[in-house]
Structure 1
Amino acid sequence: MSSDPARLPGEYRSAFASFFMAGFECSSHRRGDGVRLDLIRATAHDTHALGDYRSCAALGLRTIRDGLRWHLIETAPGVFDWSGWISMIEAAQAAGVQVIWDIFHYGSPDHVDQGGSGFTEAYVRFAAEAVRVHRSVAGTAPLVCPINEISFFAWAIEVGYFPRVGPKKQGWFKRQLVRAAVAGVKAMRDAEPDCRFIWAEPLIHVAPRDRTRAEQRRAENVRQGQFEAYDMLTGRAEPELGGSEDCVDVIGLNFYPHNQWYFRGPTIPMGHHEHRALSDMLV
C-alpha cells in the first residue's frame, strides 16, 4: 500500500485521516544565548498558511496543531496586534481545517518576566483575549493548548537551555507555569465557555545504568516526573496550585526519538534493548 495518503483509495484515506493530524513548529522562545527564535517565520508558514493548510487538507489531514506568537502580538503591556493571527484563522477556515492553537509555545514578549510575580496576570490577559478574538473571527470557540510542554519548558529554564528566570530552586518554575496555566484555563472558560483544552507533555523513559536497587529507584523517580504536570493541572498533586479535573479535556503525549536515556547517562537509541516502543510507554 502506498505511503502517500493522497494516492490511497478513498476509504483508506478516510481511515488514515482519522488517525493522523498535522502540525507546524511554532516555537518563539529566546535561546540560552539570548537569540530569539521564530519557527513560523523561519519556515515561511506565516506567509504561506493558506497553502500549507490546503496541502494538509488534500492529504486528509484536517486537524492541525499551530500556534500564536505572543511576542509579536502583545507589542506593549496590554497592547495587542492580532492581525497576523487573524490571517491564519481565516486561512484555516478557507482551507476547511480544524486547528488546535498553542496559546503559549515558550516565547513571551520581552516585557513579560516569566519568573516574575506579574507573569500569571500577563498570561491570563493574553489568553482570555485570544479566545475572544477567535470567536469574533471564526464564530466558534477555539481548541487550545494553553501552555506547550510544561515539563520540558521547566527543565529548559532550570538547566539554562532557555534563559534562567526566577529562583534557582528545582521545580519552582514548573509550579509557576502550572499556576498560570490553571488561571488561564479559568479565564478562557469565562470568556468562552465552549473552549476545549488540549495539553501536550513529553513522554519519557529513563533506564538505570545498573541493576542495583538504589540505581533503579533513582531512575524510576526521574521517569515518574513526567506525570507531575498533569497531576498538578488536575489537582491530584499540590492542589494549592488550583488544578482541577476540568482543566484537562485531552491528554497529549509527545514521543521523540531522544526522549529515552540512562539515568545520568547517554540517550538510548532506537533498536537498543533498553529502548521502549511507543505502545509500551503509553501503557
Structure 2
Amino acid sequence: MSWLLKYYKGIYIVLVAVGVLCTYLSLWGTAVATGYFILVLASLVLGSRWLSQAVSRGIVEFYRDCDPEPMLENCDRLLAGAEDGRSGYLLTLRCNRISALLALGRREEARAELDRLADELPREKASTTAVTLRWERAELNLEEERLQGMEGELDAISALAQKVRVPSLFGGVTFPELMDWHVERGRCLLLLRTAGPVLELLPRLKELLEKAPCTLYQVRVMMDIGEYHLARGETDQALSCLRLVAEKAPKLAMGARAANKLSHMGG
C-alpha cells in the first residue's frame, strides 16, 4: 500500500498518457483503443476514490466521537515502510497522524513529525496540508506556552488560508472559514495565557462554541471555557464544563485532564 501512495502521481501520469494515446487511436475507429480508453478512465476514477477512502479511515471517529486511535492506527498502517515523500496522500496521512498524536497528548512525537516535515513543505506554501501543519505547530506551541511571535504567526496562518479556496471536511464550511475558526481560538488562548481571564474572552469563546463544526471542536472550546472559569475562581461554571469534556472525550488527553481536575475539585 505504501508504495502505491508514494508513486500514485507517476502511475496517474502513465495512465493518462495511455488514455490520451487510446483516445487518439479511437479517433481512427479502433474499437480496442476505445475499450482501453474506457478502462483507463474507470481505473483513474475508481482508484482515486479507493485511495481517498483508505486515507480517510478513522476521521469520522476522530471528529465525531473524539476517538483518535482508529485514525492513528490507519495512518501507522498505511505509512509502514513508506519513505519520505511529497505525494498528496502521504502528506495527508502524516498530517492526520500529527493531529491524532496531539489529541492523545503525545507532544514530543508530534513535534518530531512536524520538524521532519518542515523541509518538505515551505512555510509560505498555500495548500490545505501546509496551512494545517503550520496551525498544528502553532497549537502545540500554545499548549506548551511557547508564545513568542505567536500573534504574528496566527495572522500569517489566516492570510495563507485565504488563498486556499477549497471545501473543508465539514459540509457548508470552506477551508478558509475553518482556519479562521482555529486562528480565533488560538487568539483566545493567547489572550488567556498572557492577559488572564479578561471579561472580553467569554463571549468570544461562546461564539466559537456556537460555530464549532464537530464534536471534537466543541469539546476543545468547552475545555477552554472551563479553564477560563477556573482562572476566575468560578468553580460551579468550571465544574459544568469539565464534566462535559470528561464525558464526551474520555479517549483524549484533554478528557483525561478534565477528569483529573474534577477529581481534585471533588466534582
| TM-score normalised by structure 1 residue count | 0.28
Higher helix share goes to which structure? 2
Greater strand share, structure number: 1
Structure showing greater radius of gyration is 2
